[in-house]
Amino acid sequence: MTAIVILGAGPAGAAVALGLRRLGYSVTLVSEWRRFAALEGVSIRVLEALRGAGFHHALTNAALPSQRQVSWNGRQHAQNIEYLLDRPSFDRGLREDLRLAGVELIEGRVLSVQSCEPGHRIEIDAREPLLTKFLVEARGRQAPALGKGLRGPETVSLLNRWQGSPGTTASAVESLADGWAWMARRADGQCYWQWTVDVASVGLPAKAQLLDFCQQRRQASSVARAFFGSEPQVQLQLHARSSTAILSPQVCGDNWIRIGDAAMAVDPLSGNGIFQSLSSALQAPAVINTLLRKPERATLAQRFHQQRVEQLFLRFARIGRDFYADEQRWLDQPFWQARRQWPDAEIAHAEADFNALRIERAPVLRDGFVDEAEVVITADQPLGIWHVLSVELAPLVRGMKQGVPAEQVLAGLTLEQGRMVRSWLLAQGFKP
């Protein structure tokens, strides 16, 4: 019986596999590799997170810098540089990173998963069944649903890809009356245009007419016409995929865990999909390690993962809501009406208030396990923050709230610790 099996080899599944290998676990990863050539725009922050997760070969020659243009609410401006991540190249390097880490790779289609208390039986097309004690579900939106979770407005993204003439690498985002579009052009002439629309209101035609439907919509956009030019579109392909925001009702059990888009998938406007996947995946090895080696903390570990996945989902959903609310031209259009008030009216970035800081006991990550400690609950960290540069914050905040002078509370810290802790205190509204 295999110790741990991961279903899905996207960034989330791979990050968990690499993290578990660092903890000494035997890991088998089962996946069907991506069948279409995708391109994703990511920030430098995402690239740093991928490198930190161990994706060194995956990032070799996979990311191309691009100046992104934005046309939103009738205004046009150039945003910061984004990087265009070529997924076929990235996925090939990812397999090499996994192989070098000692992860067993099985390429195949999962037919079924039968789970019970002792373990899981995984049926794989044209292979012997695989038995495992612990299962990591990382198949993204293709993962079987566990019931009715929180779900946003039904949304679909229509990715058009074709071969154009070589030119300059570039990318752009445009808001439209019935949705929004992301477009990119690589130096080798590969072109991408992805239109994200409302399933209920856009009136999509039958599959055979989708390409023409998209082409007509693209030609109607002056931004797209200027971006791609009038050259012929060779080898035009279409890939439709759901981009509805979905939160799974349960993301962890005694012998299984869901990560990445299998745990929560959000609207692509609210943040980069890879960053969202990594956000839940990077904590998973410690959660799994706790479930397997410290079962007495199982409830604490499951609570830690569930709370953080839910909080990440709501955070990204509110960021997306605020982006949609910035577009004021089509207030009565169904696409914008459905998204400018979902998921709630809570503000995405609450104002800092030092007097409102609270100290509570909460689950934290300590030495590769989920443990419990005193944390500081803040406006931007509703689940609590434990320490900054190894300095526990709860004792400092408690002392300052009791009237102990700040210099006395911070005495004994190194120069760098003192600088970082003071910066954190000021960000929380502390007034010296």
Percent of the chain past pLDDT 90, that is, above it, reads: 77
Q: What is the pLDDT of residue 232?
A: 82
- pLDDT band (50, 70, 90) for residue 37: confident
Provide, for the chain, the percentages of residues in helix, strand and coil under a 3-state DSSP scheme, each rounded to the nearest 5: 35, 30, 35
- pLDDT tens digits for 204-234? 899 889 999 999 999 999 999 999 998 888 8
Q: What is the pLDDT of residue 78?
A: 80
* Rg of the chain over all Cα atoms, to the nearest angstrom: 23
> Would you call 187 helix, strand, or coil by DSSP?
coil
pLDDT(1) > 70: no
DSSP 312-380: HHHHHHHHHHHHHHH--TTTTSHHHHHHSS-S-S--SSPPP-GGG-EEEEEEEEETTEEEEEEEEE-SS
Q: What is the pLDDT of residue 325?
A: 96
| Spatial distance between the Cα atoms of 44 and 304, rounded to a whole number of angstroms | 28
- pLDDT tens digits for 8-26? 999 999 999 999 999 999 9
Mean pLDDT score, 34-43: 81
Cα 422 to chain centroid, rounded: 30
The angle, 0 to 180 degrees and rounded to 10, between the axes of the packed helices 298-326 and 284-293 is: 160
Mean pLDDT score, 62-80: 86
For 212, other C-beta atoms within 10 Å of its C-beta total 10
pLDDT(140) > 80: yes
Highest mean pLDDT (candidates 29-38, 86-95, 302-311, 344-353): 302-311
CA distances (Å), origin 426, targets 386, 392, 396: 17, 16, 13
- Residue with tokens 């931007």, as numbered in its chain: 380
Contact 319, 271 (CB under 8 A): yes
Please, where are the H alpha helices in 152-272? 210-219, 222-228
Q: What is the pLDDT of residue 271?
A: 58
> Would you call 265 helix, strand, or coil by DSSP?
strand
- pLDDT tens digits for 276-321? 888 889 999 999 999 999 999 999 999 999 999 999 999 999 999 9
Cα atoms in the Cβ-side hemisphere of radius 13 Å centred on 347:
6
| Cα-Cα-Cα-Cα dihedral sign, residues 383, 388, 394, 396 | negative
- pLDDT band (50, 70, 90) for residue 183: very high
Contact 317, 347 (CB under 8 A): no
The angle, 0 to 180 degrees and rounded to 10, between the axes of the packed helices 11-22 and 284-293 is: 50
Q: Which among 315, 318, 333, 152 is positioned nearest to 243, based on CA atoms? A: 152
| Spatial distance between the Cα atoms of 377 and 294, rounded to a whole number of angstroms | 26
| Spatial distance between the Cα atoms of 374 and 194, rounded to a whole number of angstroms | 45
- The CATH classification of domain 2-64+85-151+245-326, taken from the options 3.60.15.10, 3.50.50.60, 3.20.20.140, 3.40.50.720: 3.50.50.60
- pLDDT band (50, 70, 90) for residue 270: low
| Spatial distance between the Cα atoms of 29 and 20, rounded to a whole number of angstroms | 12
| Spatial distance between the Cα atoms of 397 and 304, rounded to a whole number of angstroms | 23
- pLDDT band (50, 70, 90) for residue 118: confident
Cα 83 to chain centroid, rounded: 16
- Residue with tokens 């038995």, as numbered in its chain: 131
On average, the pLDDT of the chain sits at: 92
User: For the chain, which residues make up each domain, given as ranges?
Assistant: 2-64+85-151+245-326, 155-242, 354-427
| Spatial distance between the Cα atoms of 103 and 96, rounded to a whole number of angstroms | 10
> Residue 348 corresponds to which tokens in the numbers above?
């995405």
Q: What is the pLDDT of residue 404?
A: 93
> Residue 355 corresponds to which tokens in the numbers above?
């007097």
Q: Which among 382, 404, 384, 380 is positioned nearest to 394, based on CA atoms? A: 384
Q: What is the pLDDT of residue 64?
A: 83
Mean pLDDT score, 74-96: 88
According to CATH, the topology of domain 155-242 is D-Amino Acid Oxidase; Chain A, domain 2 (3.30.9)
Q: Which among 160, 100, 106, 154 is positioned nearest to 132, based on CA atoms? A: 106
